[in-house]
Structure 1
Amino acid sequence: MANQSTLNLWTRLSATASGRWLFSQLLCFKAPYFRSIAPRFKELAPGHCVVPVRKRRAVLNHIGTVHAIAMCNAAELAGGVMTEVSIPASVRWIPRGMTVEYLKKATTSVTATARPMNPSFDWAVAGEYLVEVSVTDAGGEAVFKAVISMWVSPRKR
């Protein structure tokens, strides 16, 4: 799915819970590893993406909290899809790295929210596009935060 087609698909499907579920399934079909967290997209627009992840056995660690890598996975998914729908069609992207901070135990379901750190990025020049992702618990408290470095460059013709 290209950037505009991803946003168009979201726009068509997001009006209903079953449509949002289908969108999440289609994204996980394209990138199967994300299926491990069973994401359910809640909001998606250029510069903004919200992805809840339900606390369930498959994402727990040995102490019964949401596993750190499950939150990394949610952060990369939210940041990547937000980047995909934010960039012009003439640009491509790939994650280069992620810096994370674990702030407290995630004892409930969590929600990853991604936003660009520099919304006025110059897409005409290849460079590092930084995405900030906050993961909050059911009470709205931050349990994890990440900064993802996306390398963006012009598409090859």
Structure 2
Amino acid sequence: MAGTNKLSGIVDKINTLPEFARSRALTLFFGKVVPFTGTAGIRIESLDHDRCVIRLVNKRRVQNHIGGVHAVASLLLAESATGFLVGMNVSDDKVPVIKTAHAEYTRRAKGDMTVEAYLTAEQRERIRMEDKGEVTVPVTIRDSEGKEPIELAMIWAWTPKRR
């Protein structure tokens, strides 16, 4: 699929690299564009127009007082994955903004965290075609045991850029 904006064009080029190099290249690129993701140590496993998978290793710098990934770091993962995905699909004349982030912590997380966000074809079409709007981006967060310790709802909006 051809890039719909500058960001997706760059990511599409990165995705032509050999498979072993893609994740590192995506991670380095987004660490430069969104410095806090690099600071936190987020690793982008895969990103395209439909789906984003990112991971955070449970290291000391992102831990809470009981040794798990801090709640805010978990939200950073969800916000980053959904934001990267919306950013891949919104045209350059619009700006994406997070509107709502809702998290319900249902169980204690163990170890590393992996987040997967995705958009349906209908959602992608709306983002590309509508001048402004909002979309709930489905997102799942799993711990190292494969369990889902947090139920998340991430709503993104987009509006025309001010000139």
Match of 1:10 in 2: 11
Q: Is the 8 A contact 2:12 2:48 kept in 1?
A: no
State TM-score, norm by structure 1. Answer: 0.84
State TM-score, norm by structure 2. Answer: 0.81
Q: Is the 8 A contact 1:127 1:151 kept in 2?
A: yes
Offset at residue 3 of structure 1 (A): 6.0
Calculate percent identity across the aligned residue pairs.
21
Match of 2:137 in 1: 131
Offset at residue 55 of structure 1 (A): 1.3
Residue correspondences, number: 156
RMSD: 2.4
Match of 2:44 in 1: 41
The amino acid that maps onto 1:29 is K
CA pair 58-3 structure 1, distance change in 2 beyond 3 A: farther
Offset at residue 82 of structure 1 (A): 0.4
The reply to whether residue 71 of structure 1 matches residue 74 of structure 2 is yes
Match of 1:112 in 2: 115
Q: Is the 8 A contact 2:45 2:53 kept in 1?
A: yes
127-136 or 50-59, larger mean C-alpha shift: 127-136
Give distance in 1, aligned partners of 2:4 and 2:54. 18
Match of 1:22 in 2: 25
Match of 2:154 in 1: 148
The amino acid that maps onto 1:11 is D
The amino acid that maps onto 2:117 is A
The amino acid that maps onto 1:128 is E
Structure 2 unaligned segments of length 5 or more: list them. none
Give distance in 2, aligned partners of 1:121 and 1:102. 30
CA pair 3-68 structure 1, distance change in 2 beyond 3 A: farther
**Other structure's SS at 2:146 match:** coil
Give distance in 2, aligned partners of 1:82 and 1:65. 26
The reply to whether residue 53 of structure 1 matches residue 56 of structure 2 is yes
